[in-house]
Structure 1
Amino acid sequence: MADRSAPGDGDGTTDPTTAPPAPEVDGLPLLGNTHQYLRDPLTFHERHARDLGDVVRVRLAGGSFHYVTHPDDIQRVLVSDQSRFRKASQVAEAGSGFLTDGMFLATGEQWRRARTIAQPAFYRERVERYGRHAVDATREATAGWSDGDRVDLGAVTKRVTLDVLVRALFDRDLDDAFGRTVAEAARTVNDFLDATSLRTILPLPDWLPTPAKRRFEAARADFDDAVDDLLDARGGSGVDAVADAPASLDAIDDPDLLDLLLAANRAADEEDRLSRAELRDNLVTFLFAGHETTALALSYAGHLLADAPDASDRLAAEVDTLSGEPTVADLPDLPYTEAVVKESMRRYPPLYTLFREPLEPVALGGRRVPAGATLVLPQRIVHTDPRWWDRPEAFRPERWLDDDAEHTRAAPGTEDRPEYAYFPFGGGPRHCIGARFAMLEARLALATLAREWRFTDPGEVRPSLNVTLQPSDPIRVTVRRR
């Protein structure tokens, strides 16, 4: 590993002359490490991060990526020195225009306006109003299960989380046609932006009408149209008629998230208001990113529990203390449920990497990084770094419980675990705006499942580096009624 006392480490005020190390290249010089990566993308970066240090430069198809894996450097990029970095432009370019006006990809003033208007909708007291949707959607999605069924957890949890978001955003029940549109869009986007494909590493011209591009464009258009229809159904004349939005939430008995967004947009200064396209892209971002990531966290949690009978016993014992179906008021009494969710996202972070680029030359880990370089901050690697995690490959929810000193310690020989050894929702000003919503939803959905069901007989899971950390094959378990 790299020496953390190397010259230039720390605040980045010095300019070290040492460039980051890179894996050896064997083969065609122009391709760099591309062929090595394509042979085994899941372990390629992890292996070199472990062998070469905390800042490693990888060349893929003529491009250059700097993997940054020390928590102190990650915290600096995301938090303490964040003004010197921005969202990597390559992320938006790879998306071929998908969600470019949404908060996930927007930068600068456009991002600030969207974040300011959306933030009040995600305050704790407002998010907690939607907890009941997680319980209802989970119960309804599992109503047809029978003891001994073999189920696809991914299909079930995606249905649950999309149902929750449609209810919370639009106060509607999930329509089957709308659900199919979102599911197809999610699948097509993941296939199109598969990080293991040469198309993503070496983007083709945006105008080239490949079959994959045509499928992507069709799914994206269907997705946008579906959200536009929901907006029109709410506002009649649409979002452009700002006067149609409620001037005050006092006039609404039980506002949903769209009510909150429209009201905030109405109250903003005219130059700060979101256009219809911006509002739509932010709603699509909430739907796509929100349901996909939380569903993955729940699916991986189910898979891990199916192979951990002791953890399943402890989870069942905790939810059995409840007097009825779980509610938001019960969450303080469900610490182990929360620990299971956190440990699942440590082992299998749904959003497995972040991308940034420095606005000026910087020093990270004592290495010189030029302006405009693509920085890769990989949760998937950092969350299982043996320097910070004792038995990192083991599923141990106990490590998140304050009263379990044996399991909460960091790796042997490490007194303290750095804060950014775990960052499933990112960090700093651009941390995931829906983090509180996602955690509330995941805990209530998992507790609802655990009250009636136990998972057994997990299949083998191998993650795939798509837009999110998708399993290569469906996550299947056997469900047993308790």
Structure 2
Amino acid sequence: MNERRTTADDREPTTDAEGKTGPTRAAVGTPPPGPRGLPVINSTLGFARDPLEFLSSIREYGDVAHYEAFGREFVVVSDPGLVETVLVARDDEFWRGEFEHEFSEVLDVEGLFFAEGERWRNQRLLLQNAFTPARIQSYADDMVDETVRLVEDWSDGEVVDVREAMSTLTLRALTRSLFDLEYKEPRFSEPNRGSHPRSFGGDRADCVQRWVQAMGAYSDSEFFGIRAVLPTWLPSRAEREYRRATADVEALVEEMVAERRRSDAAGGDLLSLLATGEYPNGSRPTAEEITGQLQLFLLAGHETTATVLTYACWLLAAADVEDVRSRLEQEVTTVCGDRDPTFADLPDLAITEAVGREAMRLYPPLPFLQREPHEATTLAGYRIGPATTVQLNMYGIHRDERWWSEPDAFRPDRWLSNDEDGRSVVADRDDRPEYAYFPFGGGSRHCIGMRFAMAELQLSLATMVRRVDLERVTESIDPTPRVSLDPGPVEMRVRRR
């Protein structure tokens, strides 16, 4: 991709390869256009009912559009150059904003995702040591082993909920890499039901699973839609269950941090790194800080990768992509032979990577990012107030025909070219803006776990391809933004190879 650097206030109208014109500068200082909405509640119901459809429809007002919902103002940005302006060229003018921080306060979690300023820089410097190529290589065998374990439990002809299965898979892998704990199947039947024992012993992995499921239920977008119109002091059952599960996890992490510090063992998991590591100023993370970091990595790390794996499996099972499936299978056979993939194989699994990239283009786990200016500013000539939430419309940009041919089609080949030996390699195009694709964010706050996620995505897909074919039972999906872009139940029939 190109390295174009533009600033929003100096932009001229953009024109793509097909001659289509992008956003034109508005008069400096004018507010962006947008829908009026309903009295009092404005666009709250429209957004809460179907966020993706709402953000798609608002593009009729242009690449910078305004709406009001949930008692606050939003500006939707649907142009790659402006996304780059916010995330890179003028990133010091924006922060994550009150809207996302209210989410962190509701969930009562702290960590790198929500930290700002010097606190964020200290955390980032410490945590990046957990995501070096060498560290990720040490996690690779666990990723493959857990995939084998999952798939070997499937019977030929069995119908499985792939969304649930992929969530279990990524949670297992994260439990091992974050905590160095062996995941066990939980002994409860449904999330948020039954008691929550506070003794850990052999139940440590179960405790983590209960917390993840409780958080998923509590942060469901439908719940927050209801929360917008109900008193904040009125607790729900989901909230009560989440608070109990959170207390258990906090006690678990505090206990494990003390164990790691007493042992002085140099473990390879993230908990050991945090327990024994130091910030640049020489201080150590507190148990509370470590808990917050691990909670966020558990939430974001397993949900987002599970979501991408689910969409990838479902997309590969479409009737019109038989050629893609055949070439993917041939690649895995050529690279791996009769063994499972390894970290060293990743550069050669180009088609596998392209499938993952294309799944994230069509269904980015976080369909929009949000920022807020520190003070009043302008973007493409439009006035943006300091309390305005700027939504970077990733889902819309990823499907914009100005940047993508056949934007709604699953075409992994758009990421591939041939090297001088005729082998498929992943290659970025120079004829589209860099931020026409940004599933891991961008700028200084790009996702720290990007390499981890891509490694797991490639290794898990390649491992599954060696063992099974999956056929669609669920013929259509209805993605809904929750913790990630949730497809809902995705049932598929297993055919063992």
TM over 0.5: yes
Pairing partner for 2:70 from 36, 40, 61: 61
1:152 aligns with 2:152: no
1:218 aligns with 2:234: no
Pairing partner for 1:185 from 204, 211, 214: 211
Contact 1:347 1:393 in 2 (8 A): yes
Q: SS at 1:96's partner residue? A: helix
Partner of 1:86: 95
- Give the 3 Å change call, closer, same or farther, for CA 452–408 of structure 1 in structure 2: same
Q: What are the residue-to-residue correspondences of 1:359-398 with 2, within 5 Å?
A: 359-398=374-413
**Inter-partner Cα distance in structure 1 for 2:144 and 2:479:** 28
1:462 aligns with 2:478: yes
Q: Deviations over 1:315-335 (max 9, x none)?
A: 111101123210011111110
Residue type of the alignment partner of 1:143:
E
**Inter-partner Cα distance in structure 1 for 2:105 and 2:8:** 40
- Residue 260 of structure 1 deviates from its aligned partner by 2.8
1:21 aligns with 2:33: yes
Q: SS at 2:33's partner residue? A: coil
- Residue 314 of structure 1 deviates from its aligned partner by 1.4
Q: Deviations over 1:401-423 (max 9, x none)?
A: 13399x9897xxxx821111111
**Inter-partner Cα distance in structure 2 for 1:6 and 1:131:** 40
Which structure 2 residue ranges, 5 or more long, are not aligned?
1-5, 13-24, 186-202
**Inter-partner Cα distance in structure 1 for 2:204 and 2:313:** 26
- Residue 438 of structure 1 deviates from its aligned partner by 0.7
Contact 1:121 1:261 in 2 (8 A): no
Residue type of the alignment partner of 2:369:
L
Q: Deviations over 1:182-238 (max 9, x none)?
A: 4443343333333345647737665433334323322332333343344344345xx
Partner of 1:311: 324
**Inter-partner Cα distance in structure 1 for 2:8 and 2:325:** 48
1:259 aligns with 2:272: yes
Pairing partner for 2:51 from 41, 53, 57: 41
1:290 aligns with 2:316: no
Contact 2:260 2:276 in 1 (8 A): no
Taking only aligned residues, the RMSD between alpha carbons, in angstroms, comes to: 2.8
Identity of aligned residues (%): 39
- Residue 123 of structure 1 deviates from its aligned partner by 1.2
1:30 aligns with 2:40: yes
Contact 1:162 1:179 in 2 (8 A): no
Contact 2:97 2:372 in 1 (8 A): yes
Q: SS at 1:386's partner residue? A: coil
- Residue 14 of structure 1 deviates from its aligned partner by 11
**Inter-partner Cα distance in structure 2 for 1:280 and 1:329:** 32
Contact 2:260 2:275 in 1 (8 A): no
**Inter-partner Cα distance in structure 1 for 2:69 and 2:398:** 24
- Give the 3 Å change call, closer, same or farther, for CA 171–223 of structure 1 in structure 2: closer
Q: SS at 1:456's partner residue? A: strand
1:124 aligns with 2:133: yes
Partner of 1:418: 433
**Inter-partner Cα distance in structure 2 for 1:19 and 1:288:** 36
- Residue 477 of structure 1 deviates from its aligned partner by 0.9
**Inter-partner Cα distance in structure 1 for 2:361 and 2:227:** 26
Q: Which moved more, 1:331-340 or 1:368-377?
A: 368-377
**Inter-partner Cα distance in structure 2 for 1:245 and 1:388:** 52
- Give the 3 Å change call, closer, same or farther, for CA 130–89 of structure 1 in structure 2: same
Partner of 1:249: none
Q: SS at 1:311's partner residue? A: helix
- Give the 3 Å change call, closer, same or farther, for CA 205–104 of structure 1 in structure 2: farther
Contact 2:372 2:389 in 1 (8 A): yes
Q: Which moved more, 1:281-290 or 1:91-100?
A: 91-100
Which structure 1 residue ranges, 5 or more long, are not aligned?
237-243, 247-251
**Inter-partner Cα distance in structure 2 for 1:7 and 1:275:** 41
Residue type of the alignment partner of 2:31:
A
